[in-house]
Amino acid sequence: MKYVTLILFFALLGCKSVHTTHQQNVEDAITKNALQLLEDKRFHSVSIAVYKDGESTIQHFGELTIGKGNKPNDSTLYELASVTKTFTGYIAAKAVLDQKIHLEDDIRVYLDEPYPKLEYKGEPIRIKHLITHTSGFPNFPIKSENKKAFFEGLKLIKIETKPGEVYSYSNTAPELTAYILEKVYQKPFEELVTEFILKPNNMNQTKFTLTENDRTRLVKGYNDKNELMPNFNRTLWGGISGLHSTTTDLVKYMKLQLAPSNPIVKESHKKLYKEGSDFWEGYHWYLIENDHQLMYRHHGGIYGMQNWLVIYPKQNMGISILTNTSFNETGEILEKVVDNLYDDIMKTKK
């Protein structure tokens, strides 16, 4: 019996040692890539979260305020910007499964006025076109000062391509999706996000509306001239942008996206529109699949901060990177950091 106990002891010790080594390797990979990013003096802070095989690793670097040395932490609130669209996509996927909406529905079924211009040569814009950026809608709403103005702006839109045929990124479409989701569930969109995503996954630090205390934790970001930029002021539903979150909550969101038994997640990751040889649009996820890799990803960029969220289902991994800087090349730079970080982590796992 004594020998069995010793064998078990050393086996457990070995498991703990492997676990500790893997964790350290992930931390080293994060540190290496974060410090390389901060060598570019246009960047001031970076927060990186990795969720791999049920383990999370979160690290923060740099300073939130230039010259103050105030490093971000697990409680720091970042604006998610367009990564908010993946939340919209999740609720749209739930609505499809609940048979509240159908992908082939003409969107005008859900509008209070006829909107005869929202078609192309008799071809209507359908729900699936809204969530894959193939509706023909302009990038930004023609009017966005309030919800009433938004619908006035819809009347001015001229659809110039057949819906479903041409990809053109649109911030107008997800706002209309959020409105439609409000209508079919008879609840405010903010409430739907809370009820269907945030509460079930204990994402207590992710929210649209901030308290005074929350605002003290909210990042103030910069452009590439080190000028302080304003935070986003949401005037519409929040289908395109407006969520704030922390690295710890984003780990919970990555865990949700990696839940294969969740039918809503599965639906939201469906390939709805093929954009390239290995590139598809899902429910506001960009899906990339080739011989070597499968990933779901989305970028978020707002006035003073940017982020990338990438899910690797085959590796049971997610990566989130957030920074308090925003300029034209930020997204491209962060994308390379994520790619390099992924490569470094996978090397250490072999």
Query: Using one digit for the tens of pLDDT, what is the confidence trace for 164-191?
Result: 999 999 999 999 999 999 999 999 999 9
- Residue 165's closest CA among 124, 136, 141? 136
- Residue 89's closest CA among 339, 286, 306, 242? 286
DSSP strand pairing (123-124 vs 119-120)? antiparallel
pTM of the shown model: 0.94
Q: What is the mean pLDDT of residues 310-335?
A: 98
- Judged by DSSP in three states, 36 sits in helix
Q: Quick one: residue 43, left, alpha or beta (phi over 0 = left, psi -120 to 50 = alpha)?
A: beta
pLDDT at 7 over 60: no
Q: Which helix (H) or strand (E) holds 343?
A: helix 330-349
198: CB partners within 8 A, 6+ apart:
204, 206, 207
Q: What is the pLDDT of residue 16?
A: 53
Is pLDDT larger for residue 349 or for residue 60? Answer: 60
- Helices 330-349 and 2-38, interaxial angle, to 10°? 160
Q: How far is CA 343 from CA 315, 346, 349, in A?
A: 12, 5, 10
In which band, very low, low, confident or very high, does the pLDDT at 23 lie, cut at 50, 70 and 90? confident
Q: What is the pLDDT of residue 19?
A: 59
Q: What is the pLDDT of residue 21?
A: 77
Residue for token digits 């598809």? 280
According to DSSP, the residues that pair with 123 across neighbouring strands are 120
**Sign of CA pseudo-dihedral 195, 201, 204, 206:** negative
Q: What is the pLDDT of residue 2?
A: 52
pLDDT at 327 over 50: yes
Answer for the pair 319, 338: CB distance below 8 angstroms, yes or no.
yes
* Mean pLDDT for the chain overall: 94
Answer for the pair 42, 325: CB distance below 8 angstroms, yes or no.
yes
Q: What is the pLDDT of residue 10?
A: 47
Q: What is the mean pLDDT of residues 51-76?
A: 97
Q: What is the pLDDT of residue 196?
A: 98
Burial class (CB in 10 A: 0-12, 13-18, 19+), 47: buried
Q: How far is CA 272 from CA 6, 22, 103, 143, 171, in A?
A: 55, 36, 10, 28, 18
Can you tell me the distance from the alpha carbon of 338 to that of 143, in angstroms, rounded to the nearest whole number?
A: 35
Answer for the pair 95, 101: CB distance below 8 angstroms, yes or no.
yes
Using a CB cutoff of 8 Å and minimum separation of 24, what contacts does 13-21 make? 19/55
Q: What is the pLDDT of residue 9?
A: 47
Q: What is the pLDDT of residue 1?
A: 57
Q: What is the mean pLDDT of residues 95-110?
A: 98
Q: How far is CA 158 from CA 109, 123, 138, 171, in A?
A: 19, 13, 9, 16
In which band, very low, low, confident or very high, does the pLDDT at 137 lie, cut at 50, 70 and 90? very high
Can you tell me the distance from the alpha carbon of 266 to that of 134, in angstroms, rounded to the nearest whole number?
A: 21
Q: Which helix (H) or strand (E) holds 245?
A: strand 244-245
Percent of the chain with pLDDT over 90: 90
